Structure 1
């Protein structure tokens, strides 16, 4: 689902930037950071785009977060949650919850105020992941002309894009909005997963009656029961064709959102 995730995150980041930082560099930063942030929750999977996006940095972070997810599951599970074993609680667990998304965004916002390098590194990692995913949304001719099919291309283009955004003061001007974009991008990812058959533990760490007990008073409770954003008849498996529709639609709407800012630049006197 990484194409649909990245596209919906790009739309989210573009929308936030059009309000908080309505300049062409600001829109570019919002779009790239939003697309990358919408891939972040899948760092709990070894083969995901975000895990591979920045080499040892993201692979090491993935291992730490996967360990944290498993540990959190074991420490907080209730009697009607599945028994913990092996990698239980790792994928689509803690890292996919809205609570964790808010924690990541708040931490990033605070850290960027403490050091400008935190924002720069975050933008590079998010941009690298975004380009790894979004390159497959481009026409084959464009992808070939830019050599985007090569493994080294996204990190290189991400480095150039980050340098350009730093030069344009977009990263410094983003401030706490970068944290907000990351939080919203991660939540958008979880909503997308919540539309699939698998679902997401949206309400963690709250206790609720599990689906088996159907709200019965005798239920000892569950925290990791997965919820959905669509009725059963409308849910789809990950990888279904509807994702391409979501991906294309999100990119088109993002273009419309960004258009007024981009045209104002072209219309302004030199």
Structure 2
């Protein structure tokens, strides 16, 4: 199957998250400190795996043991049923929910709104819960070799520690906006990445007809298509990794310069 691998999705989420965090106005979900910028990137990296919750074999579905496996099968079956309920005459019958409902722009926007609403309703417990899930996914995606060797219970414990640490060391009155926009950015990055594969994604389904279909797939030109584990996938992973390193270096140098300015009084 022509899919982008989990590490590539996570790294692209981190790269885009670092950039968006600095470009968004603070009142729209942007951040005001370097620490919050890194947190935003981590959340976007984790959220960049969420659309693949419709596949039991995906990284996100294996991240939290039987709980995420059960959730993944539920999402896959729900997506399959939804596609068959809304499909047009030209749409073939859906026999697998992967790359359907969760690979639309509406899903990305809905997850961002849902995250913000949860925090607005439940406050601290919702923040810590979302941090736990998203940072745990980021660990899986950004550290694939370590996460493969580690037991899912170990990963769960590390995720919990990171979530509480993020809440404790980076308190923010705008956590709802920050989390919500990071989730939407990560999901959108994943969906755009999957458009670069031969299978494509129904990014505007089911509201927009495409070639007489509600679930028509959008994709980049065939000569730009990539496959999982292939040269294109590895090239993308390398490019996004370089972007992350470059942005971190710039952020670190700016932080050091600010510190030196403060110390010297200049």
TM category (shorter chain) comes to 0.7 to 0.9
Deviates more, 1:175-184 or 1:165-174: 165-174
The equivalent of 1:151 in structure 2 is: 151
- Correspondence list, 1:63-142, <5 A: 63-84=73-94, 87-88=95-96, 90-115=97-122, 116-136=124-144
Alignment length (residue pairs) = 248
SS of 2:143's equivalent? Answer: helix
Distance 1:109 1:207 in 2: 26
* Structure 1 residue 33 displacement after superposition: 0.8
Distance 2:51 2:177 in 1: 20
Quick check: 1:27–1:258 contact (8 Å CA) kept in 2?
no
State the Cα RMSD in Å. Answer: 2.3
> What residue ranges of structure 2 are gaps of 5+ in the alignment?
24-29
SS of 1:82's equivalent? Answer: coil
> What residue ranges of structure 1 are gaps of 5+ in the alignment?
138-142, 211-220
Answer yes or no: is 1:262 the counterpart of 2:252: yes
Deviates more, 1:238-247 or 1:91-100: 238-247
* Structure 1 residue 225 displacement after superposition: 1.4
Distance 1:103 1:6 in 2: 20
TM-score by length of structure 2 reads 0.84
In structure 2, relative to structure 1, the CA distance for the partners of 1:29 and 1:74 (3 Å cut) is same
In structure 2, relative to structure 1, the CA distance for the partners of 1:207 and 1:164 (3 Å cut) is closer
* Structure 1 residue 265 displacement after superposition: 3.9
The equivalent of 2:231 in structure 1 is: 241
Distance 2:210 2:41 in 1: 39
In structure 2, relative to structure 1, the CA distance for the partners of 1:171 and 1:38 (3 Å cut) is farther
Quick check: 2:13–2:48 contact (8 Å CA) kept in 1?
yes
* Structure 1 residue 167 displacement after superposition: 1.0
The equivalent of 1:6 in structure 2 is: 10
Distance 1:169 1:40 in 2: 24
The equivalent of 2:19 in structure 1 is: 15
The equivalent of 1:213 in structure 2 is: none
TM-score by length of structure 1 reads 0.83
Deviates more, 1:118-127 or 1:10-19: 10-19
Distance 1:108 1:32 in 2: 15
The equivalent of 2:214 in structure 1 is: 223
* Structure 1 residue 207 displacement after superposition: 4.2
Deviates more, 1:173-182 or 1:30-39: 173-182
